Structure formats: C-alpha cells, structure tokens
C-alpha cells in the first residue's frame, strides 16, 4: 500500500463491485468471516453460497476500503478456507450505498 492522507476520503466517492470466490469456501464459515471483515472496514453489501460451490456477493463503499476487502477475498478468507480464485466484475461508481449493512443471504 502507498501513503497518502485518508482525511479526504469523502472525495473519492463510492464504488460497487460484484465478486465470486472459488475454492474450498463453503462449510468453512467463509460468509461469516467475510461479513465480519466488511463490517470492520465499514462496507455494505452481501454474501451468499452458490449452488455450484462458490461464494458470491457484492461490496459497496469507499474505493480504498473496497480494495482492502478484495485483497482479503483474494488472499485471506476464513481460517479453514482454501481460495483458488477470486473474480471481480461490474465495478461502477455509485452515488449512494444501496444496502444498509453487510448481510449474509441464504
């Protein structure tokens, strides 16, 4: 990570990005940890298991924070998980957050 002041984070606006994580990511509390990390970073969105064994969702918030969660989804995950791939798509600037919190969807 580079330096730079975090004081004027407001000016960066907000972004929304969809994600899908492949690997051993179901049955290892991946959603719970993702929610915890998102809340720690002050992000909103959702996460859910898919029928084909991946975890997918959406992240919204300040770009720098969203990047942090993307890195976390790519490299860290929950303690028991084995991430083989994390893909991000539909990244766009948004005027306002479309979710109130970060939810785990069934």
Q: How many Å apart are CA 47 and CA 44, to the nearest integer?
A: 10
Catalytic residue of the set 31, 40, 85, 90: 31
Q: How many Å apart are CA 22 and CA 65, to the nearest integer?
A: 22
Tally of helices (H runs) and strands (E runs) in the chain: 2, 5
49 classed as catalytic: yes
Q: How many Å apart are CA 101 and CA 45, to the nearest integer?
A: 6
Catalytic residue of the set 49, 67, 82, 90: 49
Phi, psi of 79 (to 5 degrees): -55, -35
User: What residues are labeled active site?
Assistant: 31, 49
């Amino acid at each position: 990570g580079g330096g730079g002041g975090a004081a004027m984070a407001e000016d960066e606006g907000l972004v929304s990005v969809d994600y899908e994580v492949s690997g051993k990511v179901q049955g290892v509390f991946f959603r719970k940890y993702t929610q915890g990390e998102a809340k720690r970073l002050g992000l909103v969105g959702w996460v859910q298991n898919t029928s084909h064994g991946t975890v997918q969702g959406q992240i919204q918030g300040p770009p720098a924070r969203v990047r942090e969660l993307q890195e976390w989804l790519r490299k860290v995950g929950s303690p028991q998980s084995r991430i083989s791939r994390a893909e991000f798509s539909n990244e766009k600037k948004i005027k306002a957050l479309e979710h109130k919190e970060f939810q785990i969807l069934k």
